[in-house]
Amino acid sequence: MNKVINPKRDSWSDLLKRPTQSVEDIEQTVEQIFSEVKTKGDLALKKYTNFFDGIKIDELEVSETEISAAVLKVSEDLQEAIKLAKNNIELFHSAQSTGKIVKETIEGVSCWQEKKPINKVGLYIPGGSAPLFSTVLMLAVPAKVAGCKEIILCTPPDKEGNVNPAILYTAQLCGVTKIFKVGGIQAIAGLTFGTETIPKVYKIFGPGNQFVTVAKQLATKYEVAIDMPAGPSELLVYADETAIPSFVASDLLSQAEHGADSQVILVSPSETIIAIVEKELTQQLAELPRKEIATKAIENSKLILVEDITNAIELINEYGPEHFIICSDNEQYFIENIENAGSVFIGNYTPESAGDYASGTNHTLPTNGFAKSYSGVNLDSFLKSMTFQKITKQGIQKIGNAIELMAEAEGLQAHKNAVSLRLKEIENELR
């Protein structure tokens, strides 16, 4: 990892850059695939699945027979672990429901807000070297709690043309409607336009690599919403002398092993902690099965020595990490002052892995600095807020004149007339 000592504020912008390609580098490829999927449908999906995943697929949709066979391949222990995680995620997301909000703003004017589910949602589940069945939980559970009618899942097949059994088990457990063996840019395009097989959805959810992230952003040009730009994983840990270095190193590596384009950062006021963590990283990295991937991510990562907690929190807010771990005897300061982070983990015994799997919070979070303006996936992500109002004769009399004056000031005479006619009718009735 690159070590940086007391960086000056004017260097933060370069220091905190993510190891990602620019949108311009990727957009041409994405647009080409989108164009082909839009015009050729399933044929294009199969073509690019063969090109990117190295497998020819005849049937894109996963059959009930495949799902039943997959369930038998998932051990009872893993099934129980997934059920425990599902229960916690369900409890936490169900608690986020706010229900109907009603307010009489002035006598005779009733306004209320109700939340309605987004009826057709698309879930993208990364496959590749790490099939993330945990992401099925994070997306399908709140979708089901919200009441989404159609939950469409896309995930890349393996080299034999199959979907990981744990993904299929979790999908059927969580009530996913349809599952398709399609990944990458072509999956996002399929969900965006719809094909002979894949339904067009109203909103797309899920993390992915840089190409998937840009594809999701492009999807918004075609009347499809997305949860957020969620790209390569990242983690920032603040650790002072009260931190346990081996824990810190394990957390950093837990995100580094996601992909070569992941990034992890340690911020600390202690040279001793940085030195010990660096040593621990080397020792633990040597034992990892995904050592090669984690090593590349570590090359993009940093150990930053700061002067004090004030500098630390300002730098952390400037970075806006996807995941932020606080290991400090002054944790309350960071809790109160953190402004930009996807999800926060507090204390030596709160690993980021808990949020990835089973504590109950959602692991689909904004990356690449988007934590400054986006929330992570939550129950509201799968709902639309609709407002209603009902105005009585008394109510329109109370606010009518104000509406007339404002409409006239904006030069919108028809707006004014819509009120004036009603007021005149009421006046006539009262004569």
Domain boundaries, the chain: 2-18+232-360, 23-101+113-228, 392-430
Could you check whether 23-101+113-228 and 392-430 share the same CATH topology?
Answer: no
User: What's the fold here for domain 2-18+232-360?
Assistant: Rossmann fold (3.40.50)
Q: How many residues does the chain have?
A: 431
Q: Please report the pLDDT score of residue 22 as a whole number.
A: 61
* Catalytic annotation present for 323: yes
Q: What's the pLDDT score for residue 229?
A: 83
Query: In the prediction, which pLDDT does 300 show?
Result: 87
Provide CATH code, domain 392-430. 1.20.5.1300
User: DSSP class of residue 120?
Assistant: E
255 marked as part of a ligand binding site: yes
Return the exposure string of 174-192: e unless at least 16 CB atoms fall within 10 Å of the residue's CB, then b.
bebbbbbbbbbbbbbbbbb
Is residue 65 exposed (0-12), middle (13-18) or buried (19+ Cβ within 10 Å)?
Answer: exposed
Q: Which of 12, 10, 74, 2 is nearest to 312 (CA)?
A: 12
363 labelled ligand-binding: no
The reply to whether 410 sits in an annotated binding site is: yes
Check the annotation: does 415 bind a ligand. Answer: yes
Query: What's the topology of domain 23-101+113-228?
Result: Rossmann fold (3.40.50)
Is residue 53 marked as binding?
no
For each of the chain's 431 residues, which pLDDT tens digit applies? Answer: 899 999 999 999 999 998 865 667 789 999 999 999 999 999 999 999 999 999 999 999 999 999 999 999 999 999 999 999 999 999 999 999 998 999 999 999 999 999 999 999 999 999 866 789 999 999 999 999 999 999 999 999 999 999 999 999 999 999 999 999 999 999 999 999 999 999 999 999 999 888 998 999 999 999 999 999 887 899 999 999 999 999 999 999 999 999 898 999 999 999 999 999 999 999 999 999 999 999 999 998 999 999 999 999 999 999 999 999 999 999 999 999 999 999 999 999 999 999 999 999 999 999 999 999 999 999 999 999 999 999 999 999 999 999 999 999 999 999 999 999 999 999 999 88
At 330 the pLDDT is: 97
Name residues whose C-beta falls within 8 Å of residue 223's C-beta, 6 or more positions apart in sequence.
none
Q: Of residues 93, 323, 352, 363, which has the active-site annotation?
A: 323
Question: What is the number of alpha carbons within 13 Å of residue 203 lying toward its C-beta?
Answer: 20
Of 234, 322, 352, 363, the active-site residue reads 322
Nearest to 295 by CA among 15, 3, 1: 1
Tell whether 356 is in a known binding site: yes
Known binder of ligand: residue 209? Answer: yes
CA dist., res. 395 & res. 403, Å (int): 12
The one-letter amino acid code at 102 reads: V
pLDDT at 210: 85
